[in-house]
Amino acid sequence: MELDLSTVEACLSGPKRPHDRVTFSTMKKDFNDCMTNDVGFKGFGLTGEETKKSVKFMHEGKEYDFNQGTLVIAAITSCTNTSNPDVMLQAGMLAKNAVAKGLKVAPYIKCSLSPGSHVVTEYFNEAGVTEPLNELGFSTAGYGCMTCIGNSGDIPEAVQDAIIDNDMIASAVLSGNRNFEGRVHPHTRANYLASPPLVIAYALAGTVDIDFETTPLGQDQDGKDVFLSEIWPSRNEVQAVTEGSIKPKMFRDVYNNILKGSQMWQDLEAPAGKLYDWDDDSTYIHNPPFFQSTEAGLKPIADVKGAHCLLNMGDSITTDHISPAGKIAKNSPAARFLADAGIDAKDFNSYGSRRGNDQVMARGTFANVRLINKMVDQVGPTTIHVPSGKEMAIFDAANEYKNAGIDSIILAGREYGSGSSRDWAAKGPYLQGVKAVIAQSYERIHRSNLLGMGILPMQFKEGENADTFGLTGSEKFNIDINGGNLTVAQDIDVTTDCGKSFTVTCRIDTDPEVAYFQNGGILHYVLRKLM
């Protein structure tokens, strides 16, 4: 295989998926195209006039303009991109050169640095780039997952109000791994993945709507325009700093002590004994209900009868749509639960931090603010409770069905469950009472996880989907599961109360998965094996 290095271009990905590559040189054009494209993975559906919208807001006593594409989050983060010393030091050197020219990052932009290892701090200090990074706002906030999984925290209230009140497209640029809708921040609609030095570049520019070749980053102390090309460290410069800053001793010293943890970790009081002492009042760790109904013997799996559709969704519903990891919205079912438990809104934290509590995570399932459900008109985490015709939070509708003893199913398009292999994306629907998913195709791991929780994944035949059969989600669905005695990839007939019927493929792909499903999921299967 041959690779012509002259054809390699710097690139980003976005604005809504990590596999939508954008070359650095065409970034401005791509963003402008996305603004007017139909709503989708590469479109926001604005009119030509809306693309020019500009509003003003106040921050720390100064007035600023907010345009489409204005940057509000810039983060050097994630366990992968921050493990490359070359690009990390290049980012630090770019920051140093920018500070030397008198360039600044707008104070309302949320900047952060969260490397995956303490070693980064060591070689940043050795290279003399820590201070300029701090000066631009990229202070070390911690080590590990942060903005990449939605843990960036709040943006300034005035900025958030400007976005919400005027329906503006705010942007984020981060060196993370994922940028699915609603993941990075609920109010950044355009999220781009980039290298650490490009994160610095866009933070200085303050927007993704920029051509760095023709537009300066700002002015130096003498009022002269400064372009990115003037302060971008060369490959030789980066290599020289890397060779002079990276020392084996740094890695030995950090990793020799890695199992000790921080002083805070060492000071934790840990109870003795083999069994965990559950605290029913804890909102962080709760005894889950997965085994409460497990009996030694197998019982036939009940057919799905008269099931209502909880959600009718399109393509590329990700695990971030299904089980968001970010901030818990103040008006969500999870927030209501926490408030009833006496937790102040400022301490709601994120779904990722409360993943040990099934009561929070069940309420957070399908709580993504960018979720598109065809059963309702607006984007967000609501659906129609079919028997009453009322629109309500998805958890509330699921709870109504469960309390009434009514099964529920989900309709979806292609690539259902793509993205992170998040276990709660299967556990959450299980706790909401979902019995089956009918999709056009599945992400491999999520399909397996659904079966692991006893949810039956079924697939429309090639060329067919919910729209093909005129399904709206208002129907009642019947699925004959034959007591769980299914075979690999067998056909199953689905009937409805309105006379529509169709055949789907059962996506139980292996013989062991047949056994998992007959046991009600892999958790019950393993427990019975242990018994």
- Where do the domains of the chain lie, and which CATH numbers do they carry? 53-253 (3.30.499.10), 304-530 (3.20.19.10)
Pick the closest to residue 20 from 10, 33, 11, 9 (CA basis). Answer: 11
CB atoms < 10 A from the CB of 409, how many? 25
**Spatial contact of 392 and 351, defined as CB atoms under 8 Å apart:** no
Per-residue pLDDT of the chain (531 residues), as tens digits, is: 999 988 888 999 999 999 899 999 999 999 999 999 998 889 999 999 999 999 999 999 999 999 999 999 999 987 777 889 999 999 999 999 999 999 999 999 999 999 988 999 999 999 999 999 999 999 999 888 888 777 788 899 999 999 999 999 999 999 988 898 888 898 999 999 999 999 999 999 999 999 999 999 999 999 999 999 999 999 999 999 999 999 999 999 888 888 887 788 889 888 888 888 899 899 999 999 988 877 888 888 999 999 999 999 999 899 999 999 888 988 899 999 999 999 999 899 889 899 999 999 999 999 998 899 999 999 999 999 999 999 999 999 999 999 999 999 999 999 999 988 889 999 999 999 999 999 999 999 999 999 999 999 999 999 999 999 999 999 999 999 999 999 999 999 999 999 999 999 999 999 999 999 999 999 889 988 888
Structure tokens at 475: 């129907």
CB atoms < 10 A from the CB of 178, how many? 21
Q: According to the model, what pLDDT value does residue 258 have?
A: 82
Structure tokens at 250: 């740094």
Q: E strands of 8-122, at which residues?
A: 11-13, 21-23, 54-59, 62-67, 71-77, 110-114
Sheet holding 11-13, edge to edge: 21-23, 11-13, 190-193, 171-174, 71-77, 110-114
Q: According to the model, what pLDDT value does residue 325 have?
A: 86
Q: According to the model, what pLDDT value does residue 57 have?
A: 96
Query: How far is the C-alpha of 470 from the C-alpha of 216, rounded, in Å?
Result: 53
- Tell me the torsion sign for CA atoms 276, 280, 285, 289: positive
Does the pTM of the predicted model rise above 0.75? yes
